Structure 1
């Protein structure tokens, strides 16, 4: 299957689900996943097992919070202060996936992703990230060779993007999450070396027969601010209309105040005329 070009990025050319890879495998046959402890919640166990059953020759590594911090301390000690300072656990969960792929290579998958097709052909691509909606790239699935320069760029950018952005959702999204990845990709000088898993293969929004994955929608860290942000993204006309309407009301209010001020003050303050607010 050959997909269209996307915003200057090369999409993955996935010729057939069970076909041989278009080149030699460069990504290790290992799938990394993370959770707080070794006890995976029951609602995600079947999804993980579907991937294990479909990839009998792959290694599966489950990294706990304790494992994650130990790896950062051992292999990337310069990032440990940033890692420890994060306000939210999901930020550490984001950061460790970049560290794992940079250190070991392989695939990273969230636990709420189930496998519908084998991933063997994707091993021929040095780096893959999925296209997401409404814009940019997701980080719930990533594939990379060990030591990939874009993974290094993500790790190097983590300290400078570790900032509070008024509420939890934008803080996570822009400091470590999908928008962080999207922004760093836009700044990456070798953008055309970043391969994109297109919507049809990603399967998150409109599942298709060729989709590699099913998605159980397990983003439990999203709060009320996320609902508001997502609603705004999905209703841009309503947001623009509300802004224009609010601006019109403000102009009318100021105009009425400007007209009322001379009448209230009499002729002794003519300088108020012509001022709106």
Structure 2
């Protein structure tokens, strides 16, 4: 009886854990790959609004003319020499935006900035297991403090970025999966980036696998989860200056035309599990989300079929009994 009671208690506790923690956690995780809240704009729409006589030129410029980029040389620490192909891509932004301030944040400059303005974050910053996490977190603090536009070094400019400056804040949406942090822009002290930077320490866990840790502790999965949290808290009558937009940057077939940006070589960070989980995150999970309504139906059909086969096997045995033969 005592063993049965312990077993029953363990089953109850397991059920509570499953229903109260595991299932909600899985649902929150899957939800990140679904439709996102907040207004979305294509680059063509931004260009058209700026060129319109009643468009963005009549509104105040919110984002300062600063382009931030980060270069931490992991292969040759201490060297601030950018690879030639990235330097060429960066030159396109200088060419098309000569009146912008172009800031390149090296490892030393990055840590000095945090030490001066956000010393409370240094222990977490220094303690990140993967160097790319320092770059992820640093860009959020740069946005909060200075505003401007942040761009990864493998993204270039195909024209003047001024039309983007008339929105209070934006990040990029590839049209599938999670939101992206490769190109972001904002006015200084925007409340979204305050929420993001305040959330970095509570999320700074090691999730066993490198891909999970990088994305969920500071990268795109983290940013998407905070995005959902921000819009869930935003009141209906929130000021436009506190809004944040999704700029669509779908590189797939049928995606909206790119106007302002180009894409060069990526691969600044790579781990053994990167490609595998990238496929899961960008292909498998969105497919599951799109087809989630089919899973209960398929599950019910499979369960019903197995139940019917079991019943048939049991009824087919009725009427038969074992007859013992006489032993000679």
With the shorter chain as reference, the TM-score category is: 0.7 to 0.9
2:234 paired residue number: 190
Tell whether the 8 Å contact from 2:175 to 2:250 is kept in structure 1 after alignment.
Answer: no
**1:99 pairs with 2:141:** yes
Provide the residue aligned with 1:9 in structure 2: 38
Aligned to 1:131: 173
Highest Rg: 1 or 2?
2
Give 1:39-118 correspondences, 5 Å limit.
39-118=81-160
C-alpha distance after superposition, 1:64-97 (max 9, x if no partner): 0111111111100111111111111100001110
1:21 equivalent among 56, 63, 72: 56
Residue 133 of structure 1 deviates from its aligned partner by 4.8
Q: Secondary structure at the match of 1:139?
A: strand
SS of corresponding position for 1:179: helix
CA gap of 1:184–1:209, structure 2 versus 1, over 3 A, is closer
Q: Equivalents in 2 of 1:21, 1:196: separation in Å?
A: 17
TM-score normalised to structure 2 length: 0.66
Q: How does 1:235-250 map to 2 (within 5 A)?
A: 235=284
Partner of 2:164: 122
Q: Structure 1, unaligned stretches of length 5 or more?
A: 1-5, 249-277
Alignment partners' CA distance in 1, 2:267 and 2:228: 25
Task: Provide the TM-score with structure 1 as the length reference.
Answer: 0.77
Aligned length: 237
Q: What is the CA RMSD across the aligned residues, in angstroms?
A: 2.8
Please give the per-residue CA displacement for 1:180-227, whole angstroms capped at 9, x wherever unaligned. 1100011112398121101xxx35445765432111241331222111
Closer, same or farther: CA 64–222 of 1 in aligned 2, 3 Å: same
Q: Which segments of 5 or more consecutive residues in structure 2 lack a partner in the other structure?
A: 1-34, 73-78, 293-297, 303-328
